[in-house]
Amino acid sequence: MIKMLTQENCAQCTALKNYLDLGLRGKYDEHIEIVKREDNPDEFNKLVEQYSIMGTPALIGRDGNVLRNCTIGEVKGFLDSNI
């Protein structure tokens, strides 16, 4: 399972969600667990500390590899290599 760290009022988070929903047509939805800062602060903060994440959005893969720069060009390859 890939974890996606996100939070409210984050333009990049909204762009990533739109890309996953519209650009990739939800293809990876069943493989992504969304950890939203406002909904699950304990889990969010634990992951931020564990993986030294400095901003959102961020994707955490199955082996603990992290995609911090969630650009459209990087996301699909990261998802494909982590499902």
Pairing of the two strands 2-6 and 32-36: parallel
Count helices and strands in the chain by DSSP H and E runs: 3, 4
* Paired strand residues for 3: 33, 60
Question: What's the rounded mean pLDDT across residues 63-73?
Answer: 93
Q: pTM for this one?
A: 0.94
Domain ranges of the chain: 2-81
- Architecture label for domain 2-81: 3-Layer(aba) Sandwich (3.40)
Task: Give the residue from 65, 69, 68 showing the smallest Cα distance to 81.
Answer: 65
**Would you state the pLDDT for residue 72?**
87
pLDDT digits (tens, 9 = 90+) for 11-43: 999 999 999 999 999 999 999 999 999 999 999
Dump pLDDT digits (tens) for 38-65. 999 999 999 999 999 999 999 999 999 9
